Amino acid sequence: MKLNGSEILINTLIDEGVEIIFGYPGGAVLNIYDAIYKNEHRIRHVLTCHEQGAAHAADGYARATGKVGVCLATSGPGATNLVTGIATAYMDSVPMVAITGNVTTPLLGKDSFQEVDIVGITMPITKHNFIVREVGELQETIRKAFYIAKEGRPGPVLVDIPKDITAKISEYESKKPMELKKDCRYVTEKALANLAQFINKAERPLIFAGGGVISSGATELLKELALKINAPVATSLMGMGAFPGQHELYTGMIGMHGTKASNLLATKADLIIAIGTRFSDRVVANREHIKNAKIVQIDIDPAELDKNIKTDANIVGDVKYTLERLMNLIKEKRNDSWLELMKEYKALKSYKKDPDSVTPELLFNCLYKSFGEDLVMTTEVGQHQMWAALHYTFSKPRTLLTSGGLGTMGYGLGASIGAKIGKPESKVVNIAGDGSFSMNAIELATAVSNKVPVVVIILNNGCLGMVRQWQSFFYESRYSYTTLNRGTDYVKLAEAYGAKGYRVTEPSQIDEVLEEAFNSEVPVVIDYVINIDKKVFPMVAPGDPIDEIITEN
């Protein structure tokens, strides 16, 4: 059948299984929005308050569901407002398709009104991007975009569509999505045998698991491997939920704000098995700091092998497929003395407990007591993000959605909206700092107008907490522009948007407020007031060995 470009776009999105688009209209995408209007019974559009909110919502939707998130923006400033969200998805390997409008093809490259080279701008932060110059190419371009976003290491793809392409007529025929095929050519018997040899010889193995375990659906295999070789399991921030947080073999996050157990074990291990993770500067990027260990790595992206840390053996391949093949080559072992050392390290404390004050630890204990492993948590970026990682027990994949690689303040609220829409049966909370929350607080209007009952908890310390913490340790407490003194009343702000607002200043208030908040049918903001000098412990100074741990005790 013959359809115009906008109709081809919407029908192709539906063919790809898209149910939700997060976006914001403008002149260059008016034809697309007209097609959305005509197909609103087949596909839902969520109007955000800002294009960055649309990108973060699509990201949160993708992380929570495992599906491709879709966002839509007009040309020029609409397109550039997506950039931070696209970069966030790129750094954390999130499958997303970002669709932008542009000026008509005759006006491209002429500095036309609201024209920008969004393809050039986003080239370093996408897996691939396209500009569609012929309407006959539109359907296949969209199909390729979804394939690329999902294939291999997931990531964002941008499709830029000039306005005249959305109006021109071309042939359309409904097609099934392109079949995903795992590239397993490097998962050879020789490579598997070599990796297995390192594991079978090890007496002090430590598994370091990352977000790739979750992306590949390999969480059960990870647990099977850990139990078979009796190895402690540490995770990256992105890997939280890949291994049951309450399991006796789990030692917590590793790195700059990692647990004592994970960091100390990494320096004592004779083998580190890195699975679906990279060695970033916030984990360990200096081979000398873990010189006692041989290192083996499994990752789908060959660019991550030997990039920061030289490995002794590695395999390029899908984690799930590789572990399935590897498991039969692995021998069972006990490692009793190694596990005793793990227990000793896990008993070490890093911070002082203060049961009589409103603290982050108390908040996360109350949240877990009430909602357990089924709570879906998004975060902004800063101290609150690290407190969440350290003090909440994540035991299921896709329950912690956070900006790990880019560290995007303002990410969490939009992401929570996307997550709640993607998983409406789940309780969804966004953990925020007052600095991060203020960046995209306007998306409260999106949650209210779309009846998305997310809960936002602001750990309000009146400052940019993580930056201030660094100023305390490394700048002799010269607090240059990190004390906010804004005087914002977050309860009144919530109410102004049509949400509910609560304030917690005493421990006795927490349980009742949480119960009311999570039973609300409208969005809720909780102003959780904490001490300005509260710091995140443990901590390793940038560049220091990971066993040189700063603690409060």
DSSP-assigned letters across all residues of 79-98 = HHTTHHHHHHHHHTT--EEE
CATH T-level fold of 360-529:
Rossmann fold (3.40.50)
Residue 356: pLDDT over 80: no
**At a CB cut-off of 8 Å and minimum separation 6, what does 527 contact?**
458, 460, 490, 491, 501, 502, 503, 504
- pTM listed for this prediction: 0.97
Query: In this predicted structure, what is the pLDDT of residue 285?
Result: 72
Residue appearing with tokens 């020029």? 76
CB count, 10 Å around CB of 19?
Answer: 15
pLDDT digits (tens, 9 = 90+) for 318-351: 999 999 999 999 999 999 999 999 999 999 988 8
pLDDT digits (tens, 9 = 90+) for 483-499: 998 999 999 999 999 99
Distance separating alpha carbons of residues 135 and 133, to the nearest angstrom = 7
The mean pLDDT value for 518-542 works out to 96
Residue 352: pLDDT over 80: yes
pLDDT digits (tens, 9 = 90+) for 161-197: 999 999 999 999 999 999 998 888 999 999 999 999 9
Task: Name the β-bridge partners of 553.
Answer: none
Q: Rounded to 5 degrees, what are φ and ψ at 319?
A: -60, -45
| pLDDT confidence tier of residue 245, bands split at 50, 70 and 90 | very high
| Token pair in block for residue 118 | 């969004």
Query: Average pLDDT over the chain, rounded to whole?
Result: 96
CATH number of 189-346: 3.40.50.1220
Query: In this predicted structure, what is the pLDDT of residue 326?
Result: 97
Query: In this predicted structure, what is the pLDDT of residue 381?
Result: 98
The mean pLDDT value for 11-40 works out to 98
Using the CB atoms, write b or e for 72-83: b if 16+ within 10 Å: bbbbbebbbbbb
Residue 287: pLDDT over 90: no
- DSSP three-state, residue 459: strand
Q: Rounded to 5 degrees, what are φ and ψ at 470?
A: -65, -40
Q: Is the CB of residue 307 less than 8 Å from the CB of residue 208?
A: no
Omega prior to 244 cis, within 30 of 0? no
pLDDT digits (tens, 9 = 90+) for 397-436: 999 999 999 999 999 999 999 999 999 999 999 999 999 9
Which CATH entry fits the domain spanning 2-171: 3.40.630.10, 3.40.50.970, 3.40.50.300, 3.20.20.70? 3.40.50.970
Query: In this predicted structure, what is the pLDDT of residue 355?
Result: 74
Distance separating alpha carbons of residues 537 and 518, to the nearest angstrom = 29
DSSP H or E segment with residue 57: helix 51-65
Q: What is the largest CA-CA distance in the chain?
A: 72
Residue 545: pLDDT over 90: yes
Residue 464: pLDDT over 80: yes
Q: Is the CB of residue 479 less than 8 Å from the CB of residue 468?
A: yes
The mean pLDDT value for 251-270 works out to 97
| pLDDT confidence tier of residue 242, bands split at 50, 70 and 90 | very high
Query: In this predicted structure, what is the pLDDT of residue 286?
Result: 82
Q: Is the CB of residue 51 less than 8 Å from the CB of residue 99?
A: no
Query: In this predicted structure, what is the pLDDT of residue 346?
Result: 97
**What are the catalytic residues?**
51, 113-114, 163, 466
The mean pLDDT value for 529-542 works out to 95
| pLDDT confidence tier of residue 378, bands split at 50, 70 and 90 | very high
The mean pLDDT value for 205-211 works out to 98
Query: In this predicted structure, what is the pLDDT of residue 420?
Result: 98
DSSP H or E segment with residue 337: helix 336-346
Query: In this predicted structure, what is the pLDDT of residue 510?
Result: 97
Query: In this predicted structure, what is the pLDDT of residue 182?
Result: 84
Residue 289: pLDDT over 90: no
Query: In this predicted structure, what is the pLDDT of residue 445?
Result: 98
Domains of the chain, by residue range, sit at 2-171, 189-346, 360-529
Rounded to the nearest 5 degrees, what angle is found at the Cα of 171, between the Cα atoms of 169 and 177?
120
The mean pLDDT value for 440-467 works out to 98
Q: Rounded to 5 degrees, what are φ and ψ at 344?
A: -65, -45
Distance separating alpha carbons of residues 130 and 145, to the nearest angstrom = 8
**Which spans in 356-449 are helix H?**
360-371, 383-391, 411-422, 434-439, 444-449
- DSSP three-state, residue 176: coil
Q: What is the dihedral of CA 42, 48, 52, 56, to 10 degrees?
A: -60
